Amino acid sequence: MKKHLCYWLFTSTLILSGCLNQKILDDVQLASAAGFELGEDEDMIIATAVFPVYKPDLTVENRTYTSSSKLSKIIRDKLNRKSPKPFVSGKLEVALYSKELAEKGIFDIIDTFRRDPATGAKMFLAVVEGDLGNSLKIQYGETDNGMFLSKLIQHNIESGILPKTNLHLFTKAYREEGRDPFLPYLKLTDKEAEIKGVALFKEDQFVGSIEGEEGYIFMFLNEKFTSDASMSVKLGEDGVFASVYHIDSKRKYKIKNIETDPSITIRIKTNAIIQEYSGEDITSKVKKQIEQNMEEEIESKGEEMIKKFQDLKIDPLGIGFQVKHRSRNWSKEKWDELYPSITVNVEAEVEISEAGVIN
């Protein structure tokens, strides 16, 4: 009897809680994406909120509300004045910032989300090239735009094309000494959305980007990663090339003379599989040549990329963070003076474990 009573109470609770949640969902506006850009008056921020409307035929339609204010915290109140239901951010998948706004700084807007307990710490952030407000009105996929753009970023992170990033990681990098944050860099047009690369920041201001195959070099330098995407390797001047995939890479730091004149080496160890080769047989000599060419490319382009970061006075790799945690007397002021001129070497070791298709 007691078992039957407990079961009845348990199922009744589920039914009642289901009805309650349904009632709550029916009474609020669940935004899935938010976009922020500059107005004609550059002190004005224009915000566009995207929320899905589910049709009886199971299709999804995107609807948008737009408002503007000089203060990001006032925008939600203005959006609520235009909506028949109150906006809530508990379902927010992605927050987007126009390139022009990101150049001025975005942490005040990000901080609004960070302080909202309804916003998830793993929400994606991204910088966008293009007409952000109008682009969010376009239907990019069969799901709503928030979910579509979130999945676009997520699968590129899982594929090893983008470094790991979200609201929590951006805030952490922004607040840490010896490190600058980065975000995905998207391009939105009237036809498609695509990953353009990685947006680089000095504190909270967008200062440049990494695009194309440079993204691989950044991934090698930045973190341990595994990628299913392909990387092309040129062999000589006769048009022979190879592409490798299933890249599994690790990196370590070796730092000397920390207190006086730091000398830093980033050591990268990578395993990969030959996916395609445009020559004839893949001999041991060919494999060795591919390994050597990959090592040279990672080393030369890696050092060139780090020099670019030093010229911009940004540290997305967190080199300063690595030095700080190996030093008892680390000083941010002293490090900021040293960083643009310190020597950073890249050493790469590549091993090709298997061979694939020959063309």
| Mean pLDDT in residue range 53-78 | 77
Q: Which tokens sit at 336?
A: 């900021």
Place of tokens 């289901």: 18
Q: At what angle do helices 107-114 and 72-82 cross, to 10 degrees?
A: 60
Is the per-residue pLDDT at 40 higher than 70? yes
CATH code that applies to domain 216-358? 3.30.300.210
For the chain, the structural domain boundaries read 29-211, 216-358
CA atoms within 13 A on the CB side of 190: 1
Please state the rounded mean pLDDT for residues 120-148.
91
Judged against a pLDDT cut of 90, whether residue 208 lies above it is answered with yes
Q: What distance in Å separates the CA atoms of residue 124 and residue 359, rounded to the nearest whole number?
A: 40
Q: Is 17 a residue whose pLDDT tops 50?
A: no
d(CA 1, CA 129): 65
Of 14-28, 91-105, 156-170, 252-266, which gets the smallest average pLDDT?
14-28
Q: How many CA atoms, within 13 angstroms, populate the side-chain half-sphere of residue 132?
A: 29
pTM: 0.87
DSSP letters for 61-118: EEEEEEEEESSHHHHHHHHHHH-SS-EE-TT--EEEEEHHHHHH--HHHHHHHHT-TT
Q: Token digits for 21?
A: 């949640």
User: Quick one: pLDDT at residue 90?
Assistant: 65
Q: How far is Cα 145 from Cα 247, in angstroms, rounded to an integer?
A: 31
Angle at 208 between CA 203 and CA 182, to 5 degrees: 50
pLDDT in tens, 289-329: 999 999 999 999 999 999 999 999 999 999 999 999 888 88
The answer, yes or no, to whether residue 272 has pLDDT greater than 80, is yes
pLDDT of residue 190 exceeding 50: yes
Structure tokens at 312: 């911009």
Greatest mean pLDDT among 57-71, 81-95, 185-199, 246-260 lies in 185-199
What's the confidence (pLDDT) of residue 18?
Answer: 43
Quick one: residue 334, left, alpha or beta (phi over 0 = left, psi -120 to 50 = alpha)? alpha
231 versus 205: the higher-pLDDT residue is: 205
Note the pLDDT of residue 24: 56
Please tell me the predicted confidence (pLDDT) of residue 317. Answer: 97
Q: How far apart are CA 214 and CA 227, in angstroms?
A: 14
320 three-state secondary structure: helix
Mean confidence (pLDDT) of the chain: 86
pLDDT (0 to 100) of residue 312: 97
> Is the pLDDT score of 115 beyond 90?
no
Distance CA 206, CA 211 (A): 14
Lowest mean pLDDT among 5-9, 21-25, 55-59, 89-93: 5-9
